[in-house]
Each structure stands twice: as structure tokens, then as C-alpha cells.
Structure 1
Amino acid sequence: MEKVEMKNIGFLGAGSMTEAMIEGMISRQFVTPDRIVIMNRTNAHRLAELEEKYGVRTLQNAEMLLRHSNVLVLAMKPIDAAQALESIQPFLTDQHVIISVLAGITTSYIEGSIQTKTPIVRVMPNTSAAIGYSATAIARGEYATDEHLSFTQKLFETIGTVVQVREEKLNAITGLSGSGPAYFYYMVECMEKAAILNGIDQKTARQLIIQTITGAAKMLNETNFEASHLRERVTSPGGTTQAGLTILEKYKYEEAITACITEAGKRSEELGKHLERQNHF
């Protein structure tokens, strides 16, 4: 099996995910800035900003982007997928590798649009990529090999952790970890409000909540105990924790979380199908 020979990494799109990936790759020495090429369809100011900040190269020509890159990251808005794929299609070969971070857009749709046997890996990161803590899932398309998956995993490990899954799981994963940060932010909002109602100032509450979440995450990660085991260890019968958990059970906390993740996953699937219908050539 051939190893993926990385010459240059090209980005089609210059938004926040592109910047997070660039920063991660450069800081982790995955690639040097001169081997990163970025193209953005309309915003020349944004390209100049990234070029100045990171020392990367920028272009506004699809043919030149594909000529100078053998790894292409699709990072434009999903609604612009059809136009973007149409612009690169004449210049793609099976020697390129496409990495797609387009939410909801399947590899089969991209393969059908470009009409080549170009390997495609679909990726679902989350917004914590901005600080190097993304929880990312990756899945291969029809022509991608284990080597393409391995290369993509190493790339995304520069901005967090990575798991390999089958593509049909990505909508559910979008509901779980793709949207996941927002669930925790909402929980923090609620905890801050509860703290204020109980006489704790917001600054103190925020500090305590963040450390509590961080500590709980580290306990899960470093002890390898199941969450239920850790919960039971800190829950004494008739104690304060039990009193709080009883209220969560009363208000159907588990059912709410399950419905939340399930509905977000369903919406991801719906939006993907809608985008593919909209973007149909």
C-alpha cells in the first residue's frame, strides 16, 4: 500500500476551522508554513490576514491550488459545495487526496460531483479545534485507503483527539461531539444562574464550575473508570450529591440528554440531504 506523500496541503476556504488546522499543524511541526496553500473565493482581505499571521501562501485560482497541492481540504461553507467542486473538478486526479470538513456532505456526493477516483476522507471536528482540543471523527470514502485514514488522523491529532468510524455514524457523532461543546456551555450557564440565586457571585461561580468540569474530565480520562462508577463513588446515601441527583432524575435529565443528542443527529442528516439536493448539478 502506497504511503501518502505530502507535498503541499491546500485549503479551499479560509474560515475559523481552516485557521485552527493551520495553527495546529504549524505549532506541532506537522508541516512548514511554506507548504500550506489557501484559496478563498471572495475574501482577499482574509487571505492576506492568514498569509501575514502564519506565513502561508495564498491563491485565488483553483487550477493553481490543485497544481501546488496534492492534499486538498474542503473547508468552505457547505452551501457553496457544488460551486466549489465544479471549480476544482477539471484539475483533480486520483493522485490528490481530498479531506472534507463539510458538515452533512457525504463522500458519495463529492465522488459523484468530481467524477474521478480521488480518495476522500470525511471529517467531523468540533469548535474546540480553535484551542487544540477538538474531538474529531474521520471516515473513509470509497477510494480512500488505510494510509489515507492514517495520514488524516495524524493531521487532525494536531488539533485534538481523533477516532475512526464508518461514515454512516457521522450524523450521530455530529449530535454527540460536533454539537457537544454547546451542551456543556448551556450547562455552565445554568449552573452560573443557580450559583447567583444561591448568593455566589458570578466570577467565583465561573472559576469553580470550570475547575469542576476540568477535574471531572481528567478523572474520566486518567482513571479509566466508567462515569457511573465515579458518580457512585461521590454519592453518599442521604447526602448532598444524592439530593441534587434526585432532582435531576425528577426532571428526567437522562431522557433530556438522550433526546438532545438524538435530535441533533437527526437534524444533521436532514440538513445534509437538503444541502445535497440544493447543490445537485
Structure 2
Amino acid sequence: MGATLPLANIGFVGGGQMAEAMVRGILAAGLAAPEQITIAEPMPARREYLAKEYGIACTQDPAELCQKSEILVLAVKPQLAATVLAAYRPLVDQRHLVFSIMAGVTLQGLAEAFAVPVRLIRVMPNTPALVLAGAAAFSPNDLVTDRDRKIAMALFSAVGTCVEVPEHLLDAVTGLSGSGPGYVFAFIEAMVDAGVLAGLPRPVAEQLTVQTVLGSARLALESGEHPAILKGRVTSPGGTTIAGLRVLEKGALRGTIMDAVVAATERSRALGG
């Protein structure tokens, strides 16, 4: 059992991909045993899969989930927030620590959904958590304790990296790291197509592109150096890289990426409204 996580039962409201990623990370990190984890999931086939794959309990009964769990993770789509929170309103009490990974649903909105004051932590994870390489940021409400913060850090560090930010920055987190995998996948797809256009067989282009993106990200992470310095090291005078970068600059690559992050941030704010 991880030192930063107390012996507590964890319940997931929703058994989708992000909930599954967290379960996988929690078990891999030894933060909880399978018998301490329960998922409330409406789809019978999904319940059967999760129970068989991870040895955890699955139910379709909100009351059972809340009775068995001290930690609750709201892992449903934000469009379902009103319906889901209404079902859990009479069941959640002050013994529960509640996490929400629903994009755009504010701490105030969550607090108003419950019948009693509740310790709430809003989290924005991303899909690389599925391979335990996610990036998450969380914001607590005023009732959250230091121990609760340690639980948050332990839970989401189990599936990647985790930071605490003020809530007003979570929309920007959504626009950057929450939506960011989509931008990266679009870039990867374009790189692969470019390789094919240049004459490479598609499987070769795919292998080289994915490894290039992975290696570049790892180099940036492990070296701790500014991306501009790393870019400079691969850019020789009059060479191939600077020729390619010139085309990217003419196409306003950096400005387009900035616009994409801002657009996603604004959409997150709209969802919260």
C-alpha cells in the first residue's frame, strides 16, 4: 500500500477508458488492492469485462457504490453531469472525498449538486493515462485537507504526472494537456502522410514518425532543456532541418497551435457555463 494513500475503498462512477486507466495505474502502483475498488457502470458487458480483467467489483447501483467507498471518482462525460449528480445527491455525505474528471464542471457546480458540504477535487487528466503516461492537474475546494491533496497526487501520479493549480487555470489545462493528445495525433498523422509522399512505405513512415515523436518528447523531459535549445542542436547552417522549419514558419505552425489551445480553452469555459 502506498504511503501517501490511506487504506480507503475507491469507487468510480462510470467505467469508461479513463476510469479503467486509473484502475490499472492504482493497481500497478500498489495504492489499493482489487477488493478495494468498485465501479458503477450501466453497461453489463463493460461491467463483466472490468471485473474479469482487474478482479474488481462492479455494480449498477449508486447506493452500493457509495456505501462501499470512501473515495469517489466521477468519471462520466460532462453532458451527463446533471443526471448523474442528481442520482448521487442523497447518497454522498461528509465521509466521502469526491474527485471529478468531468471537463468544465466547476467546483461550485459540484458543491451545489450535493445535499451536504463535501470535500471536492476537480481534476483534468488526459488520455495517455491509458498507458500510464498521462498529464493531470487538480484543484481542491476549501474543505479539502493536506491529506486529501496527497491522495490526489498519489492517484493521478499513478497514471502519469500530476500538478496542483488554481481552479481558474483548469480551462487552460483542458485546452493544453487535456486536448493536447488530439493535436499531437494530428501532427503524427501528417508526418506519416508526408513520409509516404516522400516515397516511404506507410508502415515504415508510421514506425519512424511515432518513434521520433516519442524520442523527442523523452529528450525534452529528461534533459530539462528549453525546446528552443534542443531545436537549435538539430538545426545545422544551410541544412535539411532549417529548410523544413522555414516552411513550418511560413505556414504559421506555432500561431496555429496557439490558436488551437486557446479555442479549446474557450470551449471548456463554455461547457462550464
| TM-score category of the 2 structures, normalised to the smaller one | over 0.9
- Structure 1 residue runs of 5 or longer lacking an equivalent are 274-281
What is the match of residue 254 of structure 1? 254
Using the TM superposition, give the Cα deviation of residue 5 of structure 1 relative to its aligned residue in structure 2, in angstroms.
4.0
- Structure 2 residue runs of 5 or longer lacking an equivalent are none
Q: Deviations over 1:146-183 (max 9, x none)?
A: 22121111011111111111111111111111111111
Q: Deviations over 1:66-90 (max 9, x none)?
A: 1111100101222221222222222
The correspondence of residues 53-68 of structure 1 with structure 2, limited to 5 A, is: 53-68=53-68
- Determine the C-alpha separation between the residues in 1 that align with 2:168 and 2:47: 34
Distance 1:214-1:157 versus aligned 2 partners, 3 A rule: same
The correspondence of residues 47-196 of structure 1 with structure 2, limited to 5 A, is: 47-196=47-196
| SS of equivalent to 2:88 | helix
- Determine the C-alpha separation between the residues in 1 that align with 2:136 and 2:38: 23
Q: Deviations over 1:203-226 (max 9, x none)?
A: 111111122112211211111110
Q: Which moved more, 1:86-95 or 1:162-171?
A: 86-95
Q: Deviations over 1:238-260 (max 9, x none)?
A: 22111111111111111111111
- Determine the C-alpha separation between the residues in 2 that align with 1:173 and 1:104: 11
Aligned residue pairs: how many? 270
- Determine the C-alpha separation between the residues in 1 that align with 2:10 and 2:215: 37
Using the TM superposition, give the Cα deviation of residue 264 of structure 1 relative to its aligned residue in structure 2, in angstroms.
0.9
| SS of equivalent to 1:38 | strand
What is the match of residue 270 of structure 2? 270
Q: Deviations over 1:106-155 (max 9, x none)?
A: 11101011032211111111111111111111111232122212111101
Using the TM superposition, give the Cα deviation of residue 237 of structure 1 relative to its aligned residue in structure 2, in angstroms.
2.3
- Determine the C-alpha separation between the residues in 2 that align with 1:30 and 1:90: 29
Letter of the 1:129 counterpart: A
- Runs of 4+ in structure 1 off by over 6 angstroms are none
What is the match of residue 198 of structure 2? 198
What is the match of residue 24 of structure 1? 25
- Determine the C-alpha separation between the residues in 1 that align with 2:202 and 2:108: 48
The answer to whether the 8 A contact 1:6-1:70 is kept is no
Using the TM superposition, give the Cα deviation of residue 4 of structure 1 relative to its aligned residue in structure 2, in angstroms.
7.0
Distance 1:24-1:130 versus aligned 2 partners, 3 A rule: same
Distance 1:5-1:199 versus aligned 2 partners, 3 A rule: closer
Instruction: Please tell me the root mean square deviation across aligned C-alpha atoms, in Å.
Output: 1.5
The answer to whether the 8 A contact 1:139-1:149 is kept is no
The answer to whether the 8 A contact 2:97-2:120 is kept is yes
Q: Deviations over 1:181-238 (max 9, x none)?
A: 1111111111111111111111111111122112211211111110011111221222
What is the match of residue 10 of structure 2? 9
The answer to whether the 8 A contact 1:138-1:149 is kept is no
